[in-house]
Structures are given as structure tokens and as C-alpha cells.
Amino acid sequence: MSKQATTPEVCFRTSIGGQALIEGILMRGPEKEAIAVRRPDGGIEIKEEALTLIKERYPILGFPFIRGTVNFLDSMVRGVKALMFSAEFYPEEESDQASEPSRLEQWLEKKLGSDGFNQAIIYLAAALGVFFSVGVFILLPALVFGLLQDLIPSFFLRNLIEGAVRIAIFFLYLCLVSRQSDMKRVFSYHGAEHKTIFCYEMGLPLTVENVRKQPRHHPRCGTSFLFVVMVIAILIFSVVRVRNVALQLVVKLLLLPVVVGITYEINRYMGRHDNLLSKICTAPGLWMQNFTTNEPDDSMIECAIEAMKRVIPEKHGQDAW
């Protein structure tokens, strides 16, 4: 495992964030988002899109402790959409005979149209992603320890152990995923994203040479966010003192938006401060990025730079964290 680089003292903290794709990068700024994908022919495919934030239509969704869940779900949908766009350039090997669309696919495309069908697939994929994450990392440990409540009568101890198991499952998942050959390149693009954001925050020109020198671990990464979600869940779920296992699961599901909302506000605070408390709170998430980020090559850095340049706002400071 490579030694974690020291987080540099940045002169500016940006709200611009990104996501690694299949041979590409998604960058999202305050006004628009951009996707840069390395095509099989070596060129870079660019896709730009202006952002229409839901909080502009419904201001209440931008309030503290509410905006966290809204932004998380919005990022999931946009992330899946960007991932599907990048996948179009690297389709799976086709069999000798192309498979016919299923009756369900034909019916959906007929009812929704081509664009509507694609949108339905995107929302379905995002929903399945949320369902998988909630099911494996939240509900499964809750179910197991709910059934063991007679063996561990102490509510506090049971909740603490459940939280530790939840974090262990998350850690094991990261370990397994990081060993997959296809994911290693995706995680290298993840490293390129972090390095490019650091370079921008340092006020340096966005060149391959400058980006390459930056660390690949960033304190405002989604990996760190998810780890803090696990920790905050231990505290919030401590209020659930219900013996019925099914009711426990329902209450914890209802509390998840609260957990995400609180985590988002903590993440915002930690991202704006550089003190002992922020360093302690971000250290576990930074360490976990050893599994979700790899050192990128120059072609990956070029993609990240192309995406980054297109989302930097014209008005200086508009993207301040």
C-alpha cells in the first residue's frame, strides 16, 4: 500500500467536485458540469451541460440539513447518467448474434419513447445503487443484530458493534473492488480528479506537470463522506430503542435522510477549516482513499484538466466552498 501523501495547504477551497468514469472524468461546478472521455482512437470526447439546480425552483430544498440528501440523490442520478455516457465508447464485446430486446424493453420503449426509456434506465440504475448501498451497509447489519438482541441485551453495546460491523463491511467492499482490474483504471481516473482539483485550489496553472505533483487523497472525497455517514449513523441510530426487528428497520430507513443531512453539514464545515479537529475527522476517510484512488498516467490527467477547465466559473470565488 502506498504511503499517503500529506494534504497541502491550499489557498482556496472549491466546491467543484468530480467522479471517475470509464476512461473519463465528470467535473461539476456551480453553473455547469463537463464530461471528458478518452475515446478508443486516443482523442478526448467532451460533453458540457448547464446545471439547473432543484433548489432554484424549490428554495426550501437548499436549506441546511435538507440540502444534503437532495444533493446526494441528484449526484447519484447525474453520476449514473455520466457513467452510461462514458460506457458508450467502450461497449462490451458483442456475440455473433445480437440479442433481441426483451418484451419488457420493447414495451417500455414504446410507451416512453427512446429518450424516456433512457431516462427510466438512469433513474432505475440510481435507485438500484441506493438500494444496494442501504441494503448491504445499513439494513443487513441492523437485521442481524436485531435478531441477536437477546444475546446482546445492552442496547448501547449492540448498536456500537453493529456500527463497527457496518464499517468493516464497507472496508471489505472497498478492498474487493480495488482488486478488480477494470476498477484499477477507474480509480486512477479518481486520482487524476483529486490531483486536478488540488492544483486548481493551489492557484497553479492547470498543466499535466503541475497536476502530477499533487497528492491523490482529497479530504472532500465521496469516500470520506460515506465513512462519516457510517459513524454518524452509529450516533443517530442510538435513539432507536425499539425491540421489534421490522420496526427497527423502518425507523432506521426513516432516519437515513437525517444521517445524510448531518453528515453533509459536517463535511462542509470540515472542508472549510484546517485545524486539529478537521484533521482527526478526515484522517480515516483519507486513509480509505488508498483503496479508491491510484496514481494516474498523463493521459488521465489530461482528461481531468479538460473537464475541469470547462466548469470553472467566470466570476472568481463563485465556487468557493
Question: What is the tens place of the pLDDT at every residue in 192-206?
Answer: 999 999 999 999 999
pLDDT of 120 reads: 73
In a domain? residue 54: yes
In a domain? residue 152: yes
In the chain, the number of structural domains is 1
pLDDT of 109 reads: 59
Q: Hey, which of 11-15, 66-70, 187-191 has the most confident mean pLDDT?
A: 187-191
pLDDT of 30 reads: 93
In a domain? residue 142: yes
pLDDT of 105 reads: 53
Can you give 169-212 as a three-state secondary structure string?
HHHHHHHHHHCCHHHHHHHHHHHHHHHHHHHHHCCCCCCHHHHH
Q: Give the integer Cα–Cα distance in Å for 177 and 189.
A: 15
User: DSSP string spanning 39-95?
Assistant: -TTS-EEEEEEE---HHHHSGGGGSTTTHHHHHHHHHHHHHHHHHHHHHTTSPPPPP
pLDDT of 222 reads: 87
Q: Give the integer Cα–Cα distance in Å for 49 and 22.
A: 19
In a domain? residue 316: no
Query: Of the candidates 187, 201, 189, which has an alpha carbon nearest to the alpha carbon of residue 312?
Result: 201
133-142 burial code (b ≥16 CB/10 A, e <16): eeeebbbebb
> Exposed (0-12), middle (13-18) or buried (19+): which is 100, by Cβ within 10 Å?
exposed
pLDDT digits (tens, 9 = 90+) for 139-195: 899 999 888 888 888 888 888 999 999 999 999 999 999 999 889 999 999 999 999
Domain that holds residue 295: 17-89+107-309
Q: Hey, which of 164-178, 229-243, 300-314 has the most confident mean pLDDT?
A: 300-314
Low-confidence winner among 62-66, 105-109, 310-314 (lowest mean pLDDT): 105-109
pLDDT of 1 reads: 44
Is the distance from CB of 16 to CB of 79 less than 8 angstroms? no
Strands 17-21, 24-28: pairing is antiparallel
How many residues are present in the chain?
321
More confident residue, 240 or 140: 140
For the chain, the average pLDDT equals: 87
**What nine digits make up the cell of 288?**
480509505
| pTM metric for this prediction | 0.85
**Is residue 296 scored above 80 in pLDDT?**
yes
In a domain? residue 83: yes
In a domain? residue 116: yes
In a domain? residue 278: yes
Measured between alpha carbons, how far is residue 233 from residues 9, 64, 195, 261 in Å? 31, 18, 30, 11
Q: Residue 136: CB partners within 8 Å, gap ≥ 6? A: 169, 173
**Is residue 95 scored above 50 in pLDDT?**
no
In a domain? residue 157: yes
DSSP category for residue 98: P
Strands 32-38, 44-50: pairing is antiparallel
In which band, very low, low, confident or very high, does the pLDDT at 116 lie, cut at 50, 70 and 90?
low
Q: What three-state secondary structure class fits 23? A: coil
More confident residue, 20 or 93: 20
